[in-house]
Structure formats: C-alpha cells, structure tokens
A and B are shown apart, each in its own frame.
Chain A
C-alpha cells in the first residue's frame, strides 16, 4: 500500500485498513463478524505464495476465504463482497488496480468499506 501511495494512490474515504502479521492468521469468524456488523465489503490481501515467510500462510488464507464465501452465500450475502488477492510488496500499481476493481462494486452506495491486509 505504501508503494501505491508513492504513486499517488489514496484510500477511498470510509475505508479502514487492518494490518495483520500474515494473511494466514485471518480467521473465518473474524471475517463473518465484519459482515455481521454490516460492513459493505472486505478485501483480504496477502503475499504471493512463493514469498510466504510462514510456509503456507497465503494458501491457508485462500482456504479461509473460500469457507467464508460459502457461509456468506448460504446467508444470502453476496460472496463477491469478500475479495481476496495475493500481491507482492513491490506491486504498487497492481494494488491500486485490485483495490479500484474491488471497490467499484460499492460505488453506487457509499457505505463503509474495510480492507484487511497483511501488506503495509
């Protein structure tokens, strides 16, 4: 995110960044509780699988996101409101692209957005 900021990227108002040590530490319960609090969308960003310092953090995160999406779908909540992507620290432009693409779906209704990220 810092890399993207250097290139003029600014977070959309209403977005909150929640830094975590590793995306593999994000829990299904944590994500579900955000939706229970009527958060419009959650974008989970993690390191590329080959960059993982904790062996399988990104893979684990992928599984957690999949499980959460299945639960959201059963709950009548659009699973696309939970975004997930893996990017490298140096991919500032890519970060901007992912973020813009994810937030575009909420642009019609201005509501709170949250981005949980293991990237600083």
Chain B
C-alpha cells in the first residue's frame, strides 16, 4: 500500500479498495522498529480518498453509517430510559457516556448482542462506587468509526455536540465503558475543540482500586480475556481488566497465547470490511480462546463482542465458547447490595 502511494499515480492509489481492508488494529505500530505510524497513514489516506469522493466500503448495508448521520439531525434526542433501574442524574460532576450501545442492540439482535446490558451494568457498578452518573439525551455517537474512515467534518460535528452536552450537564469527569469512545475523547476531541473542560476516565481506573466495594460473588468457571485494540495496544490498559476479573472469587483465569499488545484483533474495525479474511482472524481468535479450556471469553469492547459472537455462528466455526462483556460479568456478580444495586 505504501509502495503504491509512493510510486504510482495518486488518484489510482486513492481509488484502491485495499485501503479499506486495514483493521487499524495498531499491531503494525506496536511492532515497527522504526515507530512508523502506519494506522495514522491509513487514516490520512482514507481522508484524502473521501475528499475525492470515494465512499469507502461499508458493511451491514451502511446502517451504522446512517445511524451516525441521523445523530447529526437537529431533532435527534437519544433515549435514556433503557439505562434501567440504576441511579442516574441529569446534572452532576460525573458523566457516563453510553455511546451507540442501544443502537447496536437493534442492529445485532439476531446474534444475541445485548449492548443495553453493558450500559445498565456500568451504571449499577458506578452506583455501588457511590457515583450517580449523568446520562444525557443530548449526547451523540463519539465518531470513532467516522474518524478512522476519514470523515473529518462529521467527526468535528459530533465532537462539538458531545462536548457541548457534557459541559451543559456540568460534568468534570466523563466515564467510559467503551474503549473506542474513551480513545476519541482522550486523543481526538482535544485536537478539535481544544481544552475539553472535563477529564475522560476509563471505568476500570475507578473500579479496580475500589473493587472490594463491589463484594463480587464467586464465579466457578475457567475464563479468558480478549484485549481490545484501542484499550490494550493504544491505551496500554492491560492489567486493570485482569485485576477486575481475578477479583471474582473462585475464578480460574487463563491467558491466551497472544495477549496485551500482542493480542489478535477481533478481525474487523470501523465497519469497513467483513470478508473471509476477517472471518478467519475471528475464527483463529476463537480457537485460541477455546484451546485454553476456557468456557467464557470476556472482552471490554462492544465491537469485539459483536464480531466474535458473529464468528461463533459461522458455518466453519467449530468452537464453543460463551462471549461476555466485562461490565456485564461484573454487574451480574455484584453482591451484598440492596435490590441488586
């Protein structure tokens, strides 16, 4: 790809569909001895391709792109009632960013993905830590996928809307359970809006030091953990999820052969490619998880959850393993509370 851009016609390079096949997983960046920012190169290339009218390669019949576009409508107001019985507020210093979770539920209902439960569990966990988070109907998609597919204007619109909504709520700290949303707020938003006026915080950095307060119930199962690209390779949050899992009494935690920054990607990113190659990566990862003898594969990213869940239903998949989100697992094992809170 790099060679083609350097040696051949620019227009031809930008029209090449191969550029949309990159997973932007960051493995190249981590392994490169010369610290070449290959994912950044791919992102810039996609930006230029968009500028000459290329529309990229969209999966899922463009529905996710359309949902993002819908969120730029002035009449858009995100539903918040789905967040469940946990305590939430409309104003306060702590804000919980729900992202696209409820929408993903509708789109991936067939594969049994339950995004709403991730948000509900996160709120219950935060409540247990003494935090009543703000949930705002004015927030929109974080723009992660638009960012990695070169849609700069759309990202800027989404970023400004989100920052305005969070500032309006009076929040000083924004808590994320989605690694992609966290990445956007931490690294991309400051480039667009300057000083955010609040601090982006990943939920595990609040949870892990106070994990004893959750009084977790025992989990008698062999469990492995899949590192999401944005969390492990980019943010370096590798130990925290493991510490949270090991806090579950009776858990038999096992590692896969490729973990942390060397972990295999879930096979697809930014909803731009879903070919046999992507599927094979997912099947390989599932095999790797099953070879540990684990019956449960935990991940912290909703998209890894979706992609691996989808691969489980593939005709060529011989693996049997349950995939669960870290927040949902912890939320289901909260102990000692009143009425499950």
Contact = CB atoms under 8 A, between A and B. Distances in A.
Contact-residue size bin, chain B (C-beta under 8 Å from the other chain): 20 to 34
Contact of A32 (B70, B77, B79, B82): B70
Interface in B196-230: none
Interface in A12-59: 27-30, 32-33, 35-38
17 contacts: A28-B63, A28-B66, A29-B62, A33-B66, A36-B70, A67-B106, A73-B79, A74-B79, A74-B82, A74-B102, A74-B103, A75-B71, A75-B78, A76-B75, A76-B77, A76-B79, A76-B137
B78 A29 contact: no
Contact of B66 (A29, A38, A70, A77): A29
A11 interface: no
Contacts of B73: 35-38, 75, 77
Interface residues of A, number: 18
Given A74-B103, A77-B76, A32 B66 contact: yes
Q: What secondary structure prevails in chain B residues at the interface with A?
A: helix
B79 to A, nearest CB: 5
Interface of A: 27-30, 32-33, 35-38, 67, 70-71, 73-77
Contacts of B78: 74-76
Nearest to B58: A29
Interface string B99-111: 0001100110000
Given A28-B61, A35-B73, A36-B69, 7 more contacts: A29-B61, A32-B63, A32-B70, A36-B73, A71-B67, A71-B70, A76-B79
A29 B271 CA distance: 14
A7 to B, nearest CB: 36
B15 interface: no
Interface string B43-79: 0000000000000000001110111011111111111
A21 B69 CA distance: 26
Nearest to B107: A67
